[in-house]
Amino acid sequence: SSINWSVHGYLHCLFPPKQLGSRSVFTSSKPDTANPNWLRVGLAFGTSVFLWGLVNKQHSADVQEYKVRNGLE
């Protein structure tokens, strides 16, 4: 039990508890869910579609190479 408290005390020295009522460094205000940032939404979905396209293209190339190497085509 004393080991647990010493580790607990050590962790409090490394990572002191947040002050009550303090603001996060990374968030200045709450996001407005009624009015999304459509540029960011579009970039997120566009990036996702682009990456899935690359994965699908690479997969098709890999399957084709597998078939050629194993005499399946």
Name the token pair of 68. Answer: 């050629």
Residue-wise pLDDT for 5-43, tens only, equals 666 666 676 766 665 566 666 767 788 889 999 999 999
pLDDT at residue number 47: 98
Closest among 50, 73, 52 to 63, alpha carbons compared: 73
Distance between the two ends of the chain, CA-based, in angstroms? 67
pLDDT at residue number 66: 97
Domains identified in the chain, total number: 1
Range of the domain at 54: 37-72
Does some domain include residue 4? no
pLDDT at residue number 37: 94
Does some domain include residue 27? no
Residue-wise pLDDT for 49-66, tens only, equals 999 999 999 999 999 999
Element of type H or E holding 40? helix 38-69
CA atoms within 13 A on the CB side of 25: 2
Residue pair 40/47 in contact by the 8 Å Cβ criterion: no
